[in-house]
Chain A
Amino acid sequence: MASLRLKGISKRFGDVVALSKVDLYVEEGEFCVLLGPSGCGKSTLLQIVAGLTPQDEGSVLVDGQPIDQLTPRDRDVAMVFQSYALYPHMTVAQNLGFGLRMRGLTKNMIEKRVLEMASLLGIQELLNRRPKELSGGQRQRVAMGRALVRRPKLFLLDEPLSNLDARLRVNVRLELKKLHEQIQGTILYVTHDQVEAMTLGDKVVVMKEGRGCQIDPPETIYERPADTFVATFIGSPAMNLFKGKFARSKGHLIFFNKNFSLNAVDVPSHLEGADVEMGIRPEDIKVTHGREKTLGAKVEMISNVGAEKYIHARIGTTSLTLRAAREAFFQAGEMISLVIDPLKLHIFQKGKRVE
């Protein structure tokens, strides 16, 4: 196991900037997730760490040592590919043992390690099959095993769950988490699925257009998104964002736009008069029947996802989404009163979070 540091990694393909000055530190044994929409450069970053694609600028360090000059085979990293990339002409056992064979282990050693790995993953009875005789989940397991059996310094996983069907994905995700606790490996994991990122990562890197927008533990990413992109990318349904200004009223700064105003607490005074965006997560807006100061909204549509409901409503011309309990009953066109917790507001100025 080893630590990984990326220093100012940049990469362009022709005129397209794939990565621009990405810095990252992954501790030994840490599970780090690269999360972003497709085309944000996360897979390219993984390829650069593996040595499959050379970077234009910057440096990759493992345990403090630069490995930029090393070929993929000398970097001692293992990779799991989205397509699994199992060798179709080899049996499962040969697939698992291939990396060990290339590294010159003895036949007995290889057999022992392959058997160990097969029993860890519960695929002993598949050892003599070929990849095409396996189900999707089994292939995924073999692909994981092929990486694990090598005991490399670093695991690189490129959307390893995206080809599994939804139910299997949840199971494998849990197993992966357990497996990481068991082996304590350093993992760099690429995904576009925020649930995977939030549940698996010790640390999540949210990427957009070749940049790391925020690098933090999942809780921080969710509770204190660094910018409006992170704020709306993480969380489902997405955070509500309202454009408006702060104005002073009775000594307090109050957020207002053309349809409503909101009380906020601890707003830095320099925001007075500035254009801002106010972010509120759907679960921080409540429907009320009490007497507090409320916002009147008109229900437009209800999305029922089973465990809870989401209400799409409108205050004047401003649309917003809020979460309601499963039992809640509303009808389109109905007027409701909303309260918003002033402690749960996210303020962004020019796209960046203001504390």
Chain B
Amino acid sequence: MRKFLKKLGFFICITLAAIFSLAPFLLFVSSAFKTQTQVTAIPPRWLQAGSLEFFHSAIARHGILQYLMNSIIVAGTATLVTISLGTLAGYALARLPRRLAQMILMGILACAMFPQIAIAGPIWRFMRFMGWLNTYQGLILPYVSLTLPLAVWILSLFFREMPEELESAARVDGCTRLGALMRVILPLSAPGVFTAAILSFIYAWNEFFLALLIMTDPLKQTMPVGIALFQGEHTIPWGEIAAVSFITTAPLVLMVLLFQRRIVTGLSAGAMKG
């Protein structure tokens, strides 16, 4: 009986937590599929026949596809660069003497602690100086530098767990150090790489402040900025905002669900004795 109550309590807590975090999400998902009249109806109705009216208007009237494309380019490139650099740095840190590596990792972490507002000004001035305002690289570069610390941490901790004998085996078998990293260590670190990649991508995808600052040209703006600038002086198009929020969030959710399967822990089981 006590066991049952314990389980019940656990279940209730989990459910409350889930409702708490999912409610806003459900609200805008349901709003996205409403029609103009339904969205302002009082009392609000949860379940409606799916209407794509808002999606249509968001795409046709607000040119949301351009934002989407900008977001994909910026977040995608930033993630690729972050993972490439993070892999090399993380590997080096995993193989450096422990104490030295720890010092460098702490330094990297310290860099990640600056409040964004404090570095926004310098970044903007730097980008203006480079003539990179309203360019993709103007946003990709700061995103890389902001996501790199976390990626380096995750990857170096992952590489550190990789048995060094595997790498030695690859090198004796005819790989260079880099070859051993690419052919043996990296495939086995896939869970770590995906984790770092997803976190970097989510950050770059959702980032608002720098994007607003650097991209003043509507043709270069990313999704979060696009959504925020939807509202006109007199109107707030809730329906379109919900639809676009759905379009923004869906790829992330989809990606995490897809990669979850690839984040198979214990991939390296069986390499060693046991």
**Chain A, 117-169, CB within 8 A of any chain B CB:** 130-134, 136, 139, 146, 150, 156, 163
Interchain CA distance A84-B170 in the complex, whole Å = 12
Complex interface: chain B residues within 8 A of A71 (CB): 171, 176
Docked complex: A62-119 residues within 8 A CB-CB of B? 71-73, 75, 77-79, 81-89, 98-99, 102-103
Contact of B272 among A84, A89, A98 (CB under 8 A): A84
| Residue B43 CB within 8 A of the other chain | no
The chain B residue with its CB closest to the CB of A156 is B172
Contact indicator A132/B173 (Cβ below 8 Å): no
The verdict on A18 contacting chain B, using a C-beta distance below 8 Å, is no
A79 lies within 8 A of B172 (CB): yes
Q: Is the CB of B174 within 8 A of A85?
A: no
The one of A47, A79, A84, A98 in contact with B273, judged by C-beta atoms closer than 8 angstroms, is A84
Chain A contacts of B165 at CB under 8 A? 81-83, 85
Which residues of A are found within 8 Å of B268, using beta-carbon distances? 88
Q: Which of B172, B270, B272 lies in contact with A52, CB distance below 8 A?
A: B172
**Interface check A6, CB cutoff 8 A:** no
Q: Is the CB of A72 within 8 A of B270?
A: no
- 11 new A-B contacts at CB < 8 Å, known A47-B168, A73-B174, A89-B267: A51-B172, A73-B172, A81-B168, A83-B272, A84-B272, A85-B271, A86-B270, A98-B170, A99-B172, A99-B174, A150-B173
Quick check: is A32 within 8 A (CB to CB) of the other chain? Answer: no
Tell whether, in the assembled complex, residue B172 and residue A131 are in contact, meaning their CB atoms are under 8 Å apart. Answer: no
Residue of B nearest to A97 (CB): B173
- Taking CB as reference atom, which chain A residue is nearest B271? A88
| Interface pair A72/B172, CB less than 8 Å apart | yes
Residues of B close to A50: CB separation below 8 A: 168, 172
* Chain A 173-209 interface 0/1 with B at a Cβ cutoff of 8 Å (1 = within): 0000000000000000000000000000000000000
Residue contact B175 to A83, C-beta cutoff 8 Å:
no
Q: Is B237 an interface residue (CB 8 A)?
A: no
Distance in Å from the Cβ of A268 to the closest Cβ of chain B?
49
Among residues of A, the one whose C-beta sits closest to the C-beta of B169 is A85
Q: Is the beta-carbon distance between B179 and A130 smaller than 8 angstroms?
A: no
Q: Given the complex of chains A and B, what is the CA–CA distance between A269 and B163 in angstroms?
A: 57
**How far apart are the CA atoms of A89 and B171 in the complex, in Å?**
17
B168 touches A89 (CB 8 A): no
A126 to nearest B CB, angstroms?
13
B273 and A72 contact, CB distance less than 8 A: no
Q: Residue B173 contacts which of A82, A88, A99, A131 (CB distance < 8 angstroms)?
A: A99
**Complex-state Cα separation, A85 to B173, whole angstroms:** 12
- Shortest distance from the beta carbon of B118 to any chain A beta carbon, whole Å: 41
Interface residues, chain A, CB within 8 Å of chain B?
Answer: 47, 50-52, 71-73, 75, 77-79, 81-89, 98-99, 102-103, 130-134, 136, 139, 146, 150, 156, 163
Contact present for B163 and A85 (CB under 8 Å): yes
A84 to B271, CA, bound (A): 7
Complex interface: chain B residues within 8 A of A146 (CB): 169, 173
Q: B41 — which chain A residues lie within 8 A by C-beta?
A: none
Contacting pair A163 B273 (CB below 8 A): yes
6 A-B interface contacts by CB (under 8 A): A50-B168, A83-B273, A88-B267, A89-B267, A156-B172, A163-B273
Contact A85 B166 (CB under 8 A): yes
A136 touching B270 in the complex, CB below 8 Å, given contacts A71-B171, A87-B170, A98-B173: no
**Residue among A72, A85, A131, A134 with the most chain B CB within 10 A?**
A85
Q: Which residues of A contact B171 (CB under 8 A)?
A: 51-52, 71-73
Return chain A residues, CB-CB under 8 Å to B88. none
A79 contacts B269, CB within 8 Å? no
Contact between chains at B175 and A89 (CB < 8 Å): no
The answer to whether B272 and A85 have CB atoms under 8 Å apart is: yes
How far, in whole Å, are A88 and B163 apart by their CA atoms in the complex? 12
A132: chain B residues at CB < 8 Å are 269-271
Find chain A residues with CB under 8 A from B176 CB: 71, 73
Q: Which of B43-57 contact A (CB under 8 A)?
A: none
A77 x B271 contact (CB < 8 A): no
| Contact across chains for B188 and A89 when beta carbons are under 8 A apart | yes
The answer to whether B188 and A85 touch across the interface, beta carbons within 8 angstroms, is no
B172→A78 contact, CB < 8 A:
yes
Among B182-226, those with CB < 8 Å from A are 184, 187-188
CA distance A130 to B272 in the complex (A): 12
Within 8 A of A (CB), among B218-274: 267-273
